[in-house]
Amino acid sequence: MSLVSKTFELYGKTYTLEAGELAKQATGATLVKQGDTTALVTVVVSKERKNYDFFPLTVDFNEKLYAAGRIPGGYLKREGRPTEKATLTARMIDRPIRPSFPEGFRNEVQIVATSLVADQVNPIDVICTMGASLALTLGGVPFEGPLACVRIGRDKETGAFIVNPTYEERENSDLDLELAGTRDFISMVEAGAEEVTEDDMLAAMQFGQEAIGAFCDAQLAFVEEWERVNGPIVPKEYILDEPVPEVEERIFAHYDEMYAALSDADKLSRIAHVEELKERIRAEFTEEEQLMWEREIPVNLKKLEKKAMRTMVVETGERVDGRAADEIRPIMVKDAYLPLVHGSGLFQRGQTQVLSVLSLGMLSEGQRLDTIEPVEGKRYMHQYNFPPFCTGETGRIGAPKRREIGHGNLAERALLPVLPDETEFPYAIRVVSEVMESNGSSSMASTCASCLALMDGGVPLKRPVSGIAMGLIQEEGKTVVLSDIQGIEDFLGDMDFKVTGTERGITALQMDNKATGLTFEILAQALQQAKEGRAFILGKMLDVIPGPRESLRSSAPRIETISVPVDKIREIIGKGGDTIRAIQDETGSTINVEQDGTVTVGGVGEAADLAIARIKEIVREPEVGEVYTGPVVTIQPFGAFVRLFGNKDGLLHISRVAEGRVDKVEDVLNVGDTVTVKVIEIEDGGKVKLDRLDKPKAPEGSGHGSGEGRPRRESRDRSERPRRRPGDNGRGRAPRRHHEG
């Protein structure tokens, strides 16, 4: 096996494909680059078949921080559990690859993408799908390839589409669309957008389909070069689960019964009827037959259920719950569902119910990210939880699964474009969606519930957002687009197409497609039907809460931002942080000070106001003419220092402490006395000079000089006077001597 490397340019970016040098014991391995960003993608297929009734595919993205020249944080200083971005990247690879394998493939497949270099210019995620496709091809694995994934951006100024934009180009884009598939059809879509219209989104998808074709052609060109150097690729033989006509015939004899069992609007009741029927069908097979056909029987039972459900839709126009294709399930909306929290919203559509809860905090409480991307953190966090009780099942509750991370990310992208800028609303925002019931579209219900929670909490959204999940049935030459799909239509249908947006346009998309016959005309119909559904759902939401509340909940922290001179930061923080800690402890606030002098103060109730007042006192500068009343804090021979405000003192000279002249400041003032003073001068160094208002008369017996009231010095006895040294004139120096020349 010899090294083959091929560099090519597409849409203004340079790419490189390599194979034959690294990971040669894997079934297939490819090195793929965009610019200097480099990923190694490997594929291993087990030699033996697994005794499963599903396709055992595992996809992992191995994110290495050395790729970006970083050392992992934490005590162990090594990578731990996958980051959220790594999980989303693995899902991005998995979703187009999984449906490309042949039906009945039961050998275990593991795809691992490892980041080797992250050049901080080009993202690494989308090129990994191309690497996986090429590794499968070089390994002789049967799949419907080649496949590719591209990201499409759109320049805000010119409106031009950009293929696989750099991080910098993404900053100036109003669209972040990832789509994957073959030259002929799209199988996966993921998007975030700044209220893009349906027509513009469809145009971007069409442009992306052309770009996918170009990357598929690049893989085919590499394969030609590979075979020229290393010889033809020999397809590997894998035993597939073949249909057993006898099993299919016996099971499909119960078609009418399955059709009747599915005609129940209640999910749990329908599942019970279907499972009861499946058990009766299984019982018709002997123990020997069940052992012999242990995989074929469950596979054909699923086929029977799928066929009956799909036929019902295309033949009668009705769905299992009796709805029409474009009909939306009953909706229930409640705002302010929970007391004390910062905001909450309950959204129910049919048998899918989600409670979303809002928490607000300081910007410093945002999420810090330790990834290979040039992103340090994020201010808005949306998290989605899918506990087992929401489907009436038991199960383990622990770390979020990939599906939960993916659904949370979708709702996050849906709401991010309508959040206020942090200069307008300087809060970290966390929304948690708890799925209470699930029968399809729980991610879209979490989007709607989260919008309710944000509005209930007084977050000034630009516009409210709603979401809907669309489906597709292609059966017997007929195509039906379904609005607001439920679980069985997602599981047994051809498409799961989620769309979120405002009245102005789309904010997020997610699509998984199993149908090779999905055309752009069908996609256009789905987008238009989704637009109508979103508007209907949004209307129900706005009937309950027309917009964001005018103020935050009393339980939420008030966060204020002020600017202070940079040279005052040291005074706010204090020695070892003692001043800022004291303010926080005494007021119950939280204070963040930035190097540019921006001070953010947060607290519940009056805490923020009290802390800001303390800070303003510290940074405040007196002005000539201002009058203050404050205590005497220090006395020196030349005057008294008076506390004006905060830690700011001014000098009241001894000549200004009283009317008349005094010998000692203590004759008039003592430490702790309160005096009213006026600022008469501020020197360049910031020293403040004061004059006392309402001066008292100097006490009798105090003072010096020839002024009135000045006492004479008492004469001392000559014997008490010090003797002068020879030559001493009593003034510390000898008298002058005159010499004659």
State the Cα–Cα distance between residues 304 and 256, nearest whole angstrom.
10
State the Cα–Cα distance between residues 577 and 579, nearest whole angstrom.
6
Q: Assign residue 477 a region (left: φ > 0; alpha: ψ between -120 and 50; beta: otherwise).
A: left
State the Cα–Cα distance between residues 260 and 516, nearest whole angstrom.
30
Q: Which of 590, 596, 598 is nearest to 563 (CA)?
A: 598
Q: By 3-state DSSP, what share of the chain in percent is helix, strand and coil, each rounded to 5?
A: 35, 30, 40
Q: Cα 506 vs. chain centroid, distance in angstroms?
A: 19
DSSP secondary structure of 332-351: EEEES-SSSSSEEEEEEETT
Helix (H, G, I), strand (E, B) or coil at 267: helix
State the Cα–Cα distance between residues 217 and 81, nearest whole angstrom.
36
Cis peptide before 146 (omega within 30 of 0): yes
Are 282 and 254 a contacting pair, CB within 8 Å?
A: no
Q: Which helix (H) or strand (E) holds 495?
A: strand 495-501
The pair phi, psi for residue 83, each rounded to 5°, is: -70, 170
State the Cα–Cα distance between residues 254 and 176, nearest whole angstrom.
47
- Angle of CA points 728, 734, 735, to nearest 5°: 110
Q: Which of 125, 191, 181 is nearest to 148 (CA)?
A: 181
β-pair type (627-636, 639-645): antiparallel
Interacting residues of 159 by C-beta distance below 8 A, sequence separation 6+: none
Binding residue ranges: 490, 496
Binding residue ranges for Mg(2+): 490, 496
Maximum Cα–Cα distance across the chain: 150
* Paired tokens of 280: 């009766």
Number of other CB atoms surrounding residue 363 within 10 Å: 18
Interacting residues of 69 by C-beta distance below 8 A, sequence separation 6+: none
Number of other CB atoms surrounding residue 569 within 10 Å: 17
Q: Which helix (H) or strand (E) holds 633?
A: strand 627-636
* Paired tokens of 670: 């003592």
The number of residues making up the chain comes to 741
State the distance between the two ends of the chain, measured CA to CA, in whole angstroms. Answer: 116
Single-letter amino acid, residue 721: R
